[in-house]
Structure 1
Amino acid sequence: MEIRQMRYFMEVAKREHVTEAADALHVAQSSVSRQLFNLESELGVDLFIREGRRVKLTPIGKIFLDRVTQAMNMIGEAEREVKEYLDPEKGTVRIAFPISLAAHVLPTAIYAFRKRYPEAKFQMRQALYRDLIDGVINGEFNLAMIAPVPEEEKKIKRKILFTERIVALLPIHHPFANRSAIQLLELKDDPFITLPEGTVFRKIALQACNELGFEPNIAFEGDDIDALKGLVAAGLGVALMPEVTLVDNFPRSTVKIPLVDPSVFRSIGVICPTQRKLLPTEQLFYNFLLEFYAQINDFSK
């Protein structure tokens, strides 16, 4: 089994079309077909169901694709590790993140890191909460910033960088708009605006309400944080928001009010695999994150 065969196999599996895969690989279609035939002959199984030049993975083909993807990720990491071993300050950090950390938290950390290591490079990927955890476990990436930090995941190492307040975002003409703080229970009769079902932050918001004995009236859902801001700005309801998402993008026709009795928080941190070592530049960035936020936390106190 050759690396070339695995790369051809992965491209065909991705595109489900031999000719399109060959075009993407910049090789002849006959070369791709021949390598797939050799691979299937060597393994003794059919990896694809063929419908002309269109193909679909067989059940064993899907299992093989998962294993090959993991193997190719490890080979790619090995190649990068050799290069970065010589000069980790010029290597690449592959990191994933949720949308709520995209506007301020991650860019701030990267900016500070590149001031110290200006030749370091980044490959960034936005993902949903569960995909962040699974991506670290299966080797799609080695680092992910995440909020909240997961508590029970055996195959990842977690580190809380800081905790942030959850605040209420209200339309500017709301009766509580001039208050310096409000109790969450005071909003029980307001229409709520939330992220879609299944998102982690929605669970945090609903749990905070449920612990006070009320089920919020969810009037609208937005696909992302910016959508929630827009709906609140239009006067359609109130929303609970991570305070960090309002640092650089704050709609004029809204006000943010701290929550008290109880205050609501979420943890923000970084996760990495327990079963793989970080690459040299990734380790450099990981150590920097711990130092950077430790300094900020000390200053805040």
Structure 2
Amino acid sequence: MERPELPLAQLHAFVVLAEELHFGRAATHLGIAQPPLSQQIRRLETKVGHALFSREPGRVTLTSAGRELLPAARQALTGLADGLAAAREAGSGRAGRLRIGFAASLALTVLPGLLRTFRERFPAVRLDIQEMTTTPQLAALRERTIDIGLLREPPAHDTDLAFETVLTEPFVAVLPTTHPLAAQRVVRVEQLADSPFVLLPRAVGPPLYDRITSLCTGAGFTPRVTQHAVEWQTVCALVETGLGVSLAPASIRRIRLKGVAFRRIAPDTARTRVAAAWREKDPSPLIPHLLAALDHDPSDGPRG
């Protein structure tokens, strides 16, 4: 049997009358005349199929059907009020869910401070954090499985996505401590020409891979990549074993491995760019708040 739909206006009128037990006072509370109130109650009683109030001269009381309906009616109205409040909060960016993709190396720089600041400002927002490299982040944004990405070396042009620079940082040479160049404080890129390289696969982040290899070609050689690893932690672990050297963002220095040395490179003008990325159309209302938290995060590196 199909359940009758109960209009919220009728439920509201019913609850007010059940609390006042007086048609005149209930009509005044609702801001309507008494006849329209009586019509609302009669329509509701028709839908229920039973009288909800016992009407006697000078006295109004709830029937057994009315007493049964009252808790459910109150719950329905409270649920609606809560839902409207939650919708307003979500629409204003004060509540809801924000799905964030991030490059693993950002856990060593901006991410901890960013999340701490954002959660302090917006405790009602649920954060879903997913670690992923640049290419999967771009795909996830287009597929709407994340709302914002924090990625390295964003594409120069993209008609669907917007980008804002979060930070820039220099590159460092990653060497086994047994490597002859580890004794130097600064390593010139061309000095790495004869060493095998350990790098992230190009497929997981083409712009960053190309940025690193361009540092080498600019120094007069093509890097001989003999090992790949998807995460920088693994790159450093492979370097520690002596399988090769690498060039990496400077934040990688926070990965502590006894057998790995990090050295500044010369020339030191090359920098890697980290950007926030989100869909240009229909962005989450929470994104401006996350960007504001980035602006005020003291752990940020320099922008631009």
TM-score normalised according to structure 1 size: 0.65
Instruction: Find out whether 1:187 has 2:214 as its counterpart.
Output: no
Name the SS of the counterpart of 1:154 in structure 2: coil
Match of 2:14 in 1: none
Match of 1:203 in 2: 210
Q: Which of 253, 257, 262 is residue 251 of structure 1 equivalent to?
A: 257
Shift of 1:235: 1.9
Match of 2:160 in 1: 155
Q: Which of 110, 114, 117 is residue 115 of structure 2 equivalent to?
A: 110
Alpha carbons of structure 1 residues 264 and 135: separation in structure 2 relative to 1, 3 Å: same
1:203-237 deviations in Å (ceiling 9; x for gaps): 22212111222111222222321111111111222
Cα distance in 1, alignment partners of residues 99 and 168 from structure 2: 24
Q: Which of 251, 266, 277 is residue 271 of structure 1 equivalent to?
A: 277
**Which residue identity is paired with 1:172?**
T
Cα distance in 2, alignment partners of residues 80 and 255 from structure 1: 54
Indicate conservation of the 8 Å contact 2:168/2:301, yes or no: no
Q: Where in structure 2 are there 5+ consecutive unaligned residues?
A: 1-83
Cα distance in 2, alignment partners of residues 221 and 295 from structure 1: 29
**Which residue identity is paired with 1:206?**
T
Shift of 1:194: 1.2
Match of 1:236 in 2: 243
Instruction: Find out whether 1:139 has 2:118 as its counterpart.
Output: no
Cα distance in 2, alignment partners of residues 128 and 80 from structure 1: 36
Match of 1:94 in 2: 99
Cα distance in 1, alignment partners of residues 299 and 109 from structure 2: 17
Alpha carbons of structure 1 residues 87 and 151: separation in structure 2 relative to 1, 3 Å: closer
Q: Which of 164, 167, 192 is residue 169 of structure 2 equivalent to?
A: 164
Q: Which of 124, 130, 133 is residue 128 of structure 1 equivalent to?
A: 133
For the pair shown, the structure with the greater C-alpha radius of gyration is 2
1:255-275 deviations in Å (ceiling 9; x for gaps): 100111253311011011111
Deviates more, 1:187-196 or 1:216-225: 216-225
Name the SS of the counterpart of 1:292 in structure 2: coil
Cα distance in 1, alignment partners of residues 212 and 220 from structure 2: 13
Shift of 1:283: 2.8
Alpha carbons of structure 1 residues 82 and 144: separation in structure 2 relative to 1, 3 Å: same
**Which residue identity is paired with 2:198?**
I
Shift of 1:177: 1.2
Q: Where in structure 1 are there 5+ consecutive unaligned residues?
A: 1-78
Q: How does 1:37-48 map to 2 (within 5 A)?
A: none
1:51-70 deviations in Å (ceiling 9; x for gaps): xxxxxxxxxxxxxxxxxxxx
Alpha carbons of structure 1 residues 245 and 80: separation in structure 2 relative to 1, 3 Å: farther
Shift of 1:167: 0.5
Shift of 1:120: 3.2
Number of aligned residue pairs: give it: 219
Cα distance in 2, alignment partners of residues 105 and 262 from structure 1: 22
Q: How does 1:211-222 map to 2 (within 5 A)?
A: 211-222=218-229
Name the SS of the counterpart of 2:182 in structure 1: coil
**Which residue identity is paired with 1:237?**
G
Identity of aligned residues (%): 20
Deviates more, 1:266-275 or 1:105-114: 105-114
Cα distance in 1, alignment partners of residues 283 and 158 from structure 2: 17
TM-score normalised according to structure 2 size: 0.64
